Structure 1
Amino acid sequence: MDKTFQPADIEQRWYQSWEAAGYFAPKGGDEPYCVMIPPPNVTGSLHMGHGFQETIIDALVRYHRMAGYDTLWQVGTDHAGIATQMVVERQLAAEGKDRHEMGREAFIEKIWDWKATSGGTITQQLRRLGASPDWSRERFTMDEGLSQAVQETFIRLYREGLIYRGQRLVNWDPALHTAISDLEVVSEEEQGKLWHFRYPLSDGSGHLTVATTRPETMLGDAAVAVHPDDERYAHLVGKEIDLPLCDRRIPIIADDYVDPEFGTGCVKITPAHDFNDYEVGQRHDLPLLNVFDDDAAINDHAPEFYRGMDRFTAREKIIDDLRHLGLLEKTDDHTLKVPRGDRSGVVIEPYLTQQWYVDAKALAGPAIHAVESGQIEFVPKQWENTYFAWMRDIQDWCISRQLWWGHRIPAWFDAEGNIYVGADESSVRAEHGLDDALPLHQDEDVLDTWFSSALWTFSTLGWPEDTEMLQRYHPTSVLVTGFDIIFFWVARMIMMTLHLRGEVPFKQVYVHGLVRDAEGQKMSKSKGNVLDPIDLIDGIDLPGLMEKRTAGLMQPKQAERIREATQRQFPDGINAYGTDALRFTFYSLAATGRDIKFDIGRIEGFRNFCNKIWNAARYVLMNCEGKDCGLDPQLPVTLGTSELWIESELQRVLERFRHSITSYRFDLASQGLYDFIWNEYCDWYLELSKVSLRDESDPAAARGTRRTLIRTLEKSLRALHPLMPYITEEIWQSVAPLAGASGPTIMLQEFPREDATLINEPAIANIEWLKNFALAVRTIRGEMNIPPGKRLPVLLREGSPEDPERIEALKAQLKQLAGLASIEWLTGDAPASATGLCGKLEILVPLADLIDRDAELARLDKEIEKLKGELKRIEGKLNNAGFVAKAPAEVVAKEEEKLRFQQTSLEKLLLQREQLGNIPS
């Protein structure tokens, strides 16, 4: 092994070796274990959320693969209708071309060309993370098999009456000219206005004042609503209003939807341009008057002098016209949530269009029962409540999109608008007996990408064919996903799978949190706090990081703010930490159900953990290679207390790890291994091993130590492999032969099983006692400023009945761990000493010959005076009533914590000085 751990030297070499050898494919076994990748967009690139999610899945997959399961991690990507079409349209625009000029077929061909050359970025990045799916089975939601599954599903649901076409409100993107899902709408607070308009009563008796943030939609008003219990307006319910600018009369209605405390308590109702208003309109049988076109410009249903205007131009014109008519009462500043398309950035409109829908209510019942009955378990369990709340109030699902890229809807229309659904035009004609002369036109729309991904668990395994893979691996074992797509993906998979397959898609749903920055803020490009997992793996200099963070920003001030923040946060750029350190950081933060605050300081610590493992392995190999490691059963092996103890600790950590990872407590699984490897094995056992390795008089004991060293390391590497695949593989290749293990790769080795019979409680108790003894001596050494290399005499008194036996049995180990010259029981008066306790045992370190008394007293006096000065400063601040009253509570609390810390420190120094004062000069 090299002297230092260099992750860049080993990661890609090992990954290419694993993939080329086909190690990620199922290998058979008694019980199948199958996980489906949440398919990333084909246009995507790796972000921290992907990194976190895929490392979680990979740990599960690698663990179950090693535990003997027939393991399949099914991989694939989503065709990402809107995102992909936008990418290719931008490329065409740069060439001065337009998709409409090209035509649909040529444009689709262009997208396939792009997919072949540029659509695999994220899958390559997943490989950099060490993800181990079966790449030989990679699927794509537009490949031939999945397209057949999508078509089969649409036709079947249509014929069962569960898919229909209707006119309803959708989220409409005026830039992309398509309906979009709620997940593609980003609503953020923006500063706007609240306009108060007077609507004259038709009988001339006065007016009602309504408040609105969207004056342009008043052209489509169908009513004014008040709350049924609002006494201010009860006498007006049933009367009519002359809608300003429109030459129409609309009724005054009463509805519980109205909040009497908002604005004036009078709300304009525009059923064709607001989702809540639509529901009010349905209850009161109000007309649906759409006054926008596909571009969100005013259409021909509005008064002539507004037609053709952009919605925001029309807004200004309407406000100005109402002002001139004396109907603008006042304008208030108002903070509101504005919905924008996550791709286009434009304001989304609730828009009335003809779309295709799935009758989700009809599918929801069995999906609710599957979770209620325990066929599907959510982890953490509280997410079941979120699932139930949405499913019990589910709305029909709009599945059509006005795009060219995607699964084109298999429906044809004749000139009279009759609908014919089938696999292709010829089968439609044959089924319905339609003459070839009858013109038919296929629906121009494509299906929502969530429609194809709802079939993901079984379509990727070969459905609608009843394949061996489908029979073997479905239902799948677990779905790992973020809470933000419980509605959009998880629930729809459950509904579709139960309906089409008669079984659940997965047995468990592990819902993880979202990755945020160290302050808990959502990572976003506009904030400049986005971290790229590949940058954390490979490192990036400051200019490169600044360039990445400001790329594409149009506002110079924002770019400059992000550059300044980046310079403060990463003055030297980001170091290269390697994949294993990044993965382990994710696991350490993965407490169930909580969002993840990613602090880069943690990854620094786990890079050090990698170094610790590497250096420990070098020590073990140095002491074991070419030597007798106890593999010959004919030669005696003696296991001392240290060996029995470390074996016991290994069994305990293996049991905790297995329980933690199968209950999705990756934080506990990683912490347990970290504590065992760093503290118990590296810090304690490696030191303890030096005693028997240096004692040539007992070869059986040395043989036992070497066997324990190498076997404990080998098992630890196997246990750690699901979390840190690269470093464990690299070291295991050198360690395995010495431990009697064989095989081409660690990833196909058996996961180490715990054995409770190997837990030796007396050995555990004895080593815990030894550790407490050593720590007591180390504390004295630190407090008395005794050099680390100085070997100390210690005297003992008091203690428990077991202590003399322990001292005799572990004397050599105590001297090694605590750096002792001698250990003796005190028989007379105690000399001037520093004292520590190990249980009831009093440990005395005589100080006369160990330190320069006068120099140490001078040093302590200086430290004491410094502390007294600092205490006086803090006390003065806290005694200042003005400071305590004006400073934030957290600042005051911080100063109080400083005061307590300094007081404790002063007490310790005064005690040390008192002990030193007893030493003769």
Structure 2
Amino acid sequence: MSTTLSKNFEPGTVEEHWYQHWMDKGYFKSTPDERPAFTVVIPPPNVTGVLHMGHTLNETVQDVLVRNARMNGFNACWVPGSDHASIATEAKVVQMLEKEKGISKHELTRETFLEHAFEWKEKYGGIIYHQIKKLGCSVDWDRVTFTMDQHYYQAVIKVFIDLYNKGMIYRGARMINWDPAAETALSDEEVEYRDLQGKLYYVRYKVAGSDEYITIATQRPETIMGDTAVCVNPTDERYQHLKGKKIIVPLVNREVPLIFDDYVDPTFGTGALKVTPAHDINDYNLGLKHNLPAIDTLNPNGTLSEAAEVFVGMDRFEARKASVQQLKEEGALVKEEEYCTRLGFSQRTNVVVEPRISTQWFVKMRGLADKALQAVSSGEVKIHPEERFLATYKYWLENVKDWCISRQLWWGQRIPAWYDKDGRFVVAATEDEAIALFQSTHATSISNGQLTQDEDVLDTWFSSWLWPIEVFNGITQPDNPEINYYYPTSVLVTGQDIIFFWVARMIMAGEEYMHQKPFDDVYFTGMVRDKQGRKMSKSLGNSPDLLDLISRFGADAVRFGILISSPAGNDLLFDDSSCEQGRNFNNKLWNALKLVKMWEANGAIQKDTKGDDFEKASLAVHWFETRLAEVQEQLKGMYKEFRLSEALKTIYSLIWDDFCSWYLEWVKPPYGEKIDEYLLESTIDFFEQLMQLLHPFMPFVTEEIYHHLRQRADGDDLTNKQLGEVGHAHQRSTTLQQSQLMQLGSLLKETITAIRDTRAKNNIKPKESVKLHIQTSEQSNYRLAQHIMGKQVNAAEILFTTDVVPNTITVLVGTDKFYLETETEVDPAAQKEQMLKDLEYLKGFLVSVEKKLSNERFVQNAKPEVVEVERKKKADAEDKIKAIEESLASLS
């Protein structure tokens, strides 16, 4: 390790060096052993993309937890991987083929298309892994898993067949959500609803054989061609005389029945409803009840089909305009109204979803959901923060619907159903197994080539719900040593937006196939927003590029920036300034290192380590040791409760304020003198321990500093160092109690700050020494601290007094008074003016505290410790007021 330190910390070369070093040493690899496992599986990002700021937060939180566990003696195993993302990836490949090769998907065979898809995945799929490495994540790269790996593919098929044989998967025609852009079915959870301003069209439907009309209101006039009835409430007097009549559907002049059903609210709108069973779930249910035909007027791509009779081949929204125009020309359009509507959009392609009747595969969810609900309700799986997300989790599972798992795509695990020419099917893993099953169940002789496999693939989430199990081959090789050692995993860190998509379903799969939970804890991170409060997204252009941030600020600074902004479970506002704060912190650490190394280079002297003089000289060491131990204990609770932002802030304050701003100043030798050897060794010990506390959050700068602090043997690296194995090189004993040390430290900081502020206000130059007189009833504390205090406020002499010292500058700290005797001319009038200002402020402060304490509701409802704090504020203010009034009297 070079002894020459750069002016500022330079992250670029440092990060590359240490990450490669850690990889070469195999620190991130995990194999089962006698240690307890700490297992985390990365929420697999889509293979199509790059890490956005939400991912950055997620991966950073996981790395903090994993590194902390590794340093606490756990066998930490963090499994990386990616998801094949069927809809998104297929769309990318289709776009690539059309743009680069001028080829349409429909011109290719399935096999050829999949070859292109895997080529695309190999070319672009590694981008995310590169970013994860640049961020410093300590994942086990030997365990990279992809949801289309052969073993994983087999696991998904095995689970499908098992659930089908249990009667939990079925095939049927249902009203589903259809994505016209991807031309595939979606599950209910893949539809995002938005409130939009639309139009309501009032259209006249003629009663056949009469001059009467019934007016209906619709948002989608392009579906009129699919109407197979008009429905009214049986109690609605306006329509009683029309029982048995036929209604003529405009645009296509189709006669349809007028039906009566109490589903229709007679007070809403016109009290009449057009019934389009093929394009609305409620109409579909009415159609089943009244035995109505369903006319599907849409093609899979969202254009009008032959069944529409008019505007065939026209896009659905263009057809809406055309329908309105023709209705006007026919005199059937009564009026248009602005209307606030709620529309469903595909989460994958961002197009308006169409309800459509389609034959699909479904999973019965009630039984699975009940197990997942029980796992969380009983506390077997703990959700953090519980107060924000437990209710959401329960709501989803209590209102669960059957899961549509088939997708009309080629990229994904193909559904293992095999059909004969008559449409009969069996479910089997291979064609040979299907043939044997066909012959046993249907008593039919079938040979190779006579069965056709289902063209659809499975929903991406049907593979990812097995993630914590199959990354350890738990489905394909049950009871293998790894699944038994690493499962259940320790903690899942993920975004709140996939609480049902993924979290609940993983719990279902875990309970079904492992008969236990998949993880102990679930920590939901907040949503990353820009400083204006907007969700970061590519479409808004407000999401920064991760690699660019790392290039500008360094990985440690980016990790710091996003974590310092992230209160547990709550949304966070992120902008570059937080990364800048992280960079400044890096440089603060670097400057502290340079100071310590300069002391070391100047040489140290050894003094007698016994007696009162040593006790006074080493007060800073005893104080910081106590402060450090206090923070170490606090951090244990913060980790346990996933208050990582608070933990980072606590470490930041400990290092920046307590260590750099106070401790180093207290132990700094006078200019030109050598430092005491005990103080130097203690300082290096503390610095090592601080770097160990900070390491999970900022691994690169801490490892670099750790190696500069001392010569290290090969393999002595911070990243694999157990907590407690650094520092404590010297036995530090003191007669002072911890509480007294902490009180002394606080008193010193407050006193030094007050005296320095007073010197500055009175234009006493820093190099000018003063004589300091202390008037206090507790001299023992100041006598212990006078060595440090004298150096910090440049007091050539410290004296204790019981009386006011005339012709001096007065400083008040609590009820203690300090008199600065200086050669600088003292202005009694200015002192008196300042005291009067302080007195006015304190009296106002006292009134506000007394008002709070006189409020019976506050005293009765607030926590006792909160009330006690207010009472302490009142007593302190009264003491300070008394002290100032006494000082004013002495000036008169």
In which range does the TM-score fall when normalised by the shorter chain? 0.7 to 0.9
- Determine whether 1:749 maps to 2:725: no
Cα distance in 1 between the residues matched to 2:770 and 2:470 = 71
- Determine whether 1:460 maps to 2:436: no
Aligned to 1:567: none
- Determine whether 1:7 maps to 2:11: yes
Aligned to 2:858: none
Cα distance in 1 between the residues matched to 2:472 and 2:765 = 66
Answer with 66-75 or 621-630: which moved more. Answer: 621-630
Aligned to 2:697: 723
Work out whether residues 200 and 241 of structure 1, in 8 Å CA contact, stay in contact via their aligned partners in 2: yes
Work out whether residues 771 and 822 of structure 2, in 8 Å CA contact, stay in contact via their aligned partners in 1: no
1:312-352 Cα distance to aligned partner (Å, 9 max, x none): 23222322232233221111233444444455444321222
Among candidates 781, 787, 806, match of residue 781 of structure 2: 806
- Determine whether 1:489 maps to 2:491: no
Aligned to 2:370: 365
Work out whether residues 264 and 273 of structure 2, in 8 Å CA contact, stay in contact via their aligned partners in 1: no
Aligned to 2:556: 580
Report the residue type matching 2:250 in the other structure: P
Cα distance in 1 between the residues matched to 2:724 and 2:238 = 76
1:362-400 Cα distance to aligned partner (Å, 9 max, x none): 321211111122211111113121111111111111111
Displacement after TM superposition at 1:243 (Å): 3.1
Work out whether residues 339 and 347 of structure 1, in 8 Å CA contact, stay in contact via their aligned partners in 2: yes
TM-score for the superposition, normalised by structure 2: 0.84
Among candidates 437, 447, 456, match of residue 436 of structure 1: 447
Aligned to 1:609: 585
Partner of 1:305: helix, strand, or coil?
A: coil
Distance 1:239 1:11, change over 3 A: farther
Cα distance in 1 between the residues matched to 2:606 and 2:77 = 38
Work out whether residues 223 and 253 of structure 1, in 8 Å CA contact, stay in contact via their aligned partners in 2: no
Among candidates 511, 520, 524, match of residue 498 of structure 1: 511
Aligned to 2:115: 109
Cα distance in 2 between the residues matched to 1:366 and 1:415 = 40
Aligned to 1:38: 43
Report the residue type matching 1:506 in the other structure: F
Among candidates 232, 245, 254, match of residue 247 of structure 1: 254
Aligned to 2:620: 642
- Determine whether 1:23 maps to 2:1: no
Structure 2 unaligned segments of length 5 or more: list them.
440-444, 838-883
Aligned to 1:512: 525
Report the residue type matching 2:546 in the other structure: P
Displacement after TM superposition at 1:222 (Å): 4.4
Answer with 135-144 or 527-536: which moved more. Answer: 527-536
Displacement after TM superposition at 1:704 (Å): 2.8
Displacement after TM superposition at 1:136 (Å): 0.6
1:189-219 Cα distance to aligned partner (Å, 9 max, x none): 5443221223345685854433222111122
Answer with 70-79 or 604-613: which moved more. Answer: 604-613
Report the residue type matching 1:606 in the other structure: G
Aligned to 2:461: 450
Cα distance in 1 between the residues matched to 2:137 and 2:605 = 35
Report the residue type matching 1:130 in the other structure: G
Displacement after TM superposition at 1:687 (Å): 0.7
Answer with 386-395 or 182-191: which moved more. Answer: 182-191
Work out whether residues 515 and 596 of structure 1, in 8 Å CA contact, stay in contact via their aligned partners in 2: yes
Cα distance in 2 between the residues matched to 1:235 and 1:834 = 102
1:26-84 Cα distance to aligned partner (Å, 9 max, x none): 26453111111000111110100000000001101000011011111111111111222
Displacement after TM superposition at 1:447 (Å): 0.9
Which structure 2 residues correspond to residues 194-593 of structure 1 after superposition, within 5 A?
194-201=200-207, 204=210, 206-224=212-230, 241-245=247-251, 246-255=253-262, 260=267, 263-264=269-270, 266-279=272-285, 281=287, 287-302=293-308, 304-382=309-387, 383-433=389-439, 434-436=445-447, 439-463=450-474, 464-465=476-477, 466-538=479-551, 576-593=552-569
Aligned positions, number: 815
- Determine whether 1:735 maps to 2:709: yes
Cα distance in 1 between the residues matched to 2:606 and 2:514 = 56
Distance 1:397 1:183, change over 3 A: closer
Distance 1:400 1:704, change over 3 A: same
- Determine whether 1:70 maps to 2:42: no
Cα distance in 1 between the residues matched to 2:238 and 2:26 = 76
Partner of 2:396: helix, strand, or coil?
A: helix
- Determine whether 1:61 maps to 2:66: yes
Report the residue type matching 1:489 in the other structure: W
1:533-559 Cα distance to aligned partner (Å, 9 max, x none): 222211xxxxxxxxxxxxxxxxxxxxx
Report the residue type matching 1:457 in the other structure: P
1:878-910 Cα distance to aligned partner (Å, 9 max, x none): xxxxxxxxxxxxxxxxxxxxxxxxxxxxxxxxx
Cα distance in 2 between the residues matched to 1:283 and 1:685 = 80
Cα distance in 1 between the residues matched to 2:239 and 2:608 = 97
1:64-122 Cα distance to aligned partner (Å, 9 max, x none): 01101111111111111122222222222122222332311122112222222321101
Which structure 2 residues correspond to residues 75-114 of structure 1 after superposition, within 5 A?
75-93=80-98, 94-114=100-120
Partner of 2:167: helix, strand, or coil?
A: coil
Cα distance in 2 between the residues matched to 1:469 and 1:818 = 62
Give % identity: 39
- Determine whether 1:776 maps to 2:747: no
Work out whether residues 257 and 280 of structure 1, in 8 Å CA contact, stay in contact via their aligned partners in 2: no
Aligned to 2:854: none
Which structure 2 residues correspond to residues 741-890 of structure 1 after superposition, within 5 A?
743-752=715-724, 760-797=738-775, 799-800=776-777, 802=778, 804-825=779-800, 830-846=805-821, 849=824
Displacement after TM superposition at 1:126 (Å): 0.8
Cα distance in 2 between the residues matched to 1:427 and 1:624 = 76
Cα distance in 1 between the residues matched to 2:122 and 2:151 = 18
Report the residue type matching 2:694 in the other structure: L
- Determine whether 1:687 maps to 2:665: yes
Cα distance in 2 between the residues matched to 1:671 and 1:846 = 40
Partner of 2:394: helix, strand, or coil?
A: helix
Displacement after TM superposition at 1:625 (Å): 5.7
Work out whether residues 808 and 826 of structure 2, in 8 Å CA contact, stay in contact via their aligned partners in 1: no
Structure 1 unaligned segments of length 5 or more: list them.
539-575, 865-910
Cα distance in 1 between the residues matched to 2:519 and 2:658 = 39
Partner of 1:526: helix, strand, or coil?
A: coil
1:815-857 Cα distance to aligned partner (Å, 9 max, x none): 2222334333457764454432222111233576158999x99
Partner of 2:313: helix, strand, or coil?
A: coil
1:684-723 Cα distance to aligned partner (Å, 9 max, x none): 1001112599887xx9xx2332222111111111111111
Cα distance in 1 between the residues matched to 2:605 and 2:523 = 43
Distance 1:529 1:279, change over 3 A: farther
Distance 1:762 1:455, change over 3 A: same
Distance 1:630 1:609, change over 3 A: farther
